Amino acid sequence: MRKNRLVYLLFIALVPAPAATALPATVIRSSHSGAITAIESTVDELLFTAGSDGKVKVWALDDGRLVQDIQADRLPVRAISLYPDDRRVAVLSGSRRSNRISVWDWREGELLFVRSISTEVIHFGVSPDGSYIHYTTPTLESVHLLDGRTGRELPFLRRPTGIVNWAMVGSSEERIVSYVPATGTVSYYDIVSGRTVAEFSGPSGLTIHSILDQRRYAVALDREGLLIILDLLTGDAVAQLPVGSVRALRVEPSTGDIVVLADDFSGRPTFRRYGFDGRDIRQKYEIRRTIPETTSAFALAAREILGADFSGRIHRWPAFENEPVEMARSTIVPIRDAVLSGNRLHLLTAEGIVSVTSDFLDHRETPALTSYARERRIPDPMGPESRFITRDPLNLYVWTPENGEAPLRRFRFYGVTLPLDFSLPVVPRFVSARDDQLLVISAAGEVNLLDESGTELFRYRGIGLQAAISTPFGIFAGKTVETAFDSSLVRISPLTGETVPLSNDADLIFSFAFDERRGRLFSLGVAEDERAGLATVLQVHEGSSTDRSRTVLSIPGEHLDSHVLVDETTGNTFTTLDDRGGILRWDGRRVSELARNTARVPLRLRLSDGLLVATNTDGTLSTYEASSGEHRFDLAFVELGNGRIEWIVVINDGRFYTPSDTAAEAAYVSSREELRRRIPTLSTR
């Protein structure tokens, strides 16, 4: 049934976006939505933070403004490394199985290049002049080098080195030093020739954290809680001191002091300062600070300490101050799903549904000329997996998988939820709707097709079913293939029960869209190729029996959260299957890219009257012109404290609108280049 190889996208080079969209002049001031995984300060009073939410944020330390907000990846950011030019930042993101190194011009919010790595990355960094990016992997040929300008893999050091957990390029950019923890070996290599210049034996099992200002000595920790100074020219541990359980460690550039965030004997976090005089290491003093228990990382900036924690909070301790001041926290309340009907936008959040009616939702109007905005709120606790199931623009369902008793409710366009008039025959793990029909799949693989009164029209039991869609040509179901002779796509006739397997490239299909006007089925699935490994593919299935299929887009890796939809008017197909984090459009001949907003990675798409609405991975919402691809505005809910939540609309030219004066304060909206032009206050309720 399946083809033995993938048919890759013919148009490899994407057509560029109609207009490259930098970030708007005004951004919503919110910290990371999860743990902060990296924090770095610079001499020009900037603070870089990165987190498990895939974001990199840049803050101005003089007034706490959010200077830049970049969604670097869907996956967590593990580490960042700054270039010496004060414009570029290298970002390591991913997980143990798959990683990516991307480089950004953070001032413009522009992605310069990205490199996928199909294995674990242990350590990475940028060379002193920015010529190289080095990273290490758990293989015998452990050290790898990328061109720092282009990301091209360089043919250097392709030799056994042992598994390296730390490496550093020398100031001449000609040599690289590495450390192998299994043997304690410190090695110097000539970068271009790969020749071993020098090699020393030292203590094994160390984790190297930083280099002292002399660059001869490295600061390391061993498994027993010893702080060790390692001489990189001899491999000797020249000094050591017990410091206990260390959370984070920094070297202060101005003094060369080693500052450690460690737990004391009671488990309470403390800051301690140590000095090394070339022979001995000693504790100078314990820095008297009240430290939140969740603090996991910190940075040093002049006389200040800046701390970050698992919840996304950033604290700062001004000089000689004991109590921390909260610099930033996560204020965005995630939008789970959104549906646009005319000039009415229904927003689904964990707290309930908010329906906003305004002329800024009309794509024929300019958002800056907004004259009114009204809202209706339906307080109703929703689970994190809740979303809308669309029947037509005026009638929808709200599906809450976490609600075992009543997982599905009706939602009317005027803003009210109603229970179903019937009980579902199964607890659904997948739901879709079309006109007056409802299709549900149970965890056991049973497909039930119901009319709007709950009458069962058809029942089918399969194995491994993931998704299904009801069309005039029958029900199409996607599943996981069990054997080499199986197919992941089947067409089922609700009239006869006949099941026809259809040829396609995927081993698993997890999402569908159907173009009724042209009789084309689109599917998203995961395929495996001998050369490329796992890839997520967008396929189109055509023909009188929908038996002809071709792959129009293939992206390396598993992107099971990607989405696809079809504009029935134009036939254009939109998808979030883009490893650069944007929205792609296929017009039947070529793939083009919509204008990119690098602060947001779209997750789920909706389309209404020419306006494309995307809910993003960071819980915000973005809108685009479907025809031109132009980015119009972003919308986010922010928490103002005391349980109060309001929304903010940010337009590309720097203006913003919110019905709340409190939400418009600088604590929630941050200006780039000091531009804050607010749309006049309107009547909202």
Residue 616 lies in a domain: yes
pLDDT tens digits, 573-624 = 999 999 878 999 999 999 999 988 888 899 999 998 889 999 999 999 999 9
- 226 within domain boundaries: no
Residue 17: the pLDDT is 42
Provide the residue range defining the domain that includes 485.
332-678
DSSP class of residue 680 equals P
* pTM score of the predicted model: 0.88
Lowest mean pLDDT among 94-103, 357-366, 520-529, 644-653: 357-366
Contacts for 249 with CB less than 8 Å, ≥ 6 apart: 209, 210, 219, 221, 258, 259, 260, 261
Task: Give yes or no for a contact between 349 and 335, defined as CB atoms under 8 angstroms apart.
Answer: yes
Residue 257's SS3 state is coil
Q: Is 284 a residue whose pLDDT tops 70? A: yes
Residue 168: inside a domain, yes or no? no
Local structure of 600: helix, strand or coil:
coil
Strand arrangement of the beta sheet that strand 166-169 belongs to: 166-169, 175-180, 185-190, 196-201
Residue 650: pLDDT over 90: no
Residue type (1 letter), 283: Q
Does 439 map to a domain? yes
Angle at 507 between CA 505 and CA 511, to 5 degrees: 85
For 11, 15, 183, 505, 565, the CA distances from 589, given in Å and listed in that order, are 9, 11, 56, 20, 17
Query: Is the distance from CB of 49 to CB of 308 less than 8 angstroms?
Result: yes
Provide the domain count of the chain.
1
Nearest to 123 by CA among 155, 78, 159, 61: 78
Q: Are 413 and 395 in contact (CB under 8 A)?
A: yes
What's 460's domain CATH number? 2.130.10.10
**Is the model's pLDDT at 366 over the cut of 50?**
yes
Which pLDDT tens digit goes with each residue over 145-186? 999 999 999 999 989 999 999 999 999 999 999 999 999 999
- Of all helices (H) and strands (E), which one includes residue 418? strand 416-419
User: What residues contact residue 233 under an 8 Å CB cut-off, 6+ apart?
Assistant: 200, 216
Alpha helices in 303-427 (DSSP H): none
Instruction: Show Cβ contacts of residue 193 under 8 Å, excluding neighbours closer than 6 positions.
Output: none
Q: What DSSP character marks residue 367?
A: G
- Summarised one tens digit per residue, pLDDT across range 450-483 is 998 899 999 998 888 999 999 999 999 999 886 6
Of 430, 390, 381, residue with least CA distance to 410: 390
Confidence bin at 444 (pLDDT 50/70/90): confident
The single residue listed with the structure tokens 């939540």 is 645
- At 28, list the tokens: 């919503």
pLDDT digits (tens, 9 = 90+) for 263-281: 988 889 999 999 999 889 9
Would residue 101 count as lying in a domain? no
Q: For residue 636, give both structure tokens.
A: 């986010």
Q: What's the average model confidence in pLDDT over 343-349?
A: 90
Ordered DSSP codes for 258-288: EEEEEE-TTS-EEEEEEEE-SS-EEEEEEE-
Q: Which residues contact 363 (CB under 8 A, 6 or more apart)?
A: 609, 610, 611, 623, 625, 632
pLDDT at 23 over 70: no
Identify the CA nearest to 270 among candidates 282, 281, 261, 259: 261
Please indicate whether residue 656 or residue 321 has the higher confidence score (pLDDT). 321
Tell me how far apart the alpha carbons of residues 170 and 173 are, in angstroms, rounded to a whole number.
5
Domain assignment of residue 515, yes or no: yes
Determine the Cα–Cα distance for residues 275 and 252; give it in Å rounded to an integer.
10
What is the arrangement of strands in the sheet containing 499-501, beginning at the earlier edge strand?
465-471, 474-479, 489-492, 499-501
Q: Rounded to the nearest 5°, which phi and psi values hold at 368?
A: -65, -20
Query: What residues contact residue 463 under an 8 Å CB cut-off, 6+ apart?
Result: 445, 479, 482
Does the pLDDT of residue 359 top 70, yes or no? yes
Residue 659 pLDDT level (bands cut at 50, 70, 90) = confident
Residues 6+ apart with CB under 8 A from 667: 29
Q: Does residue 593 lie in a domain region?
A: yes
What whole-number distance in Å separates Cα of residue 133 and Cα of residue 37? 20
Q: Quick one: pLDDT band at residue 683, thresholds 50, 70, 90?
A: very low
pLDDT (0 to 100) of residue 6? 34
CB 28 within 8 A of CB 674: no
* Residues 340-365, mean pLDDT to the nearest whole number: 84
Taking the C-alpha atoms of residue 645 and residue 352, their distance in angstroms, rounded to an integer, is 11
Q: What is the mean pLDDT of residues 104-132?
A: 93
Whether the predicted pLDDT of 681 surpasses 50:
no
Beta strand 677-678 with 655-657: parallel, antiparallel or unpaired?
A: parallel
pLDDT category of residue 379 using cuts at 50, 70 and 90: confident
In a domain, 588, yes or no: yes
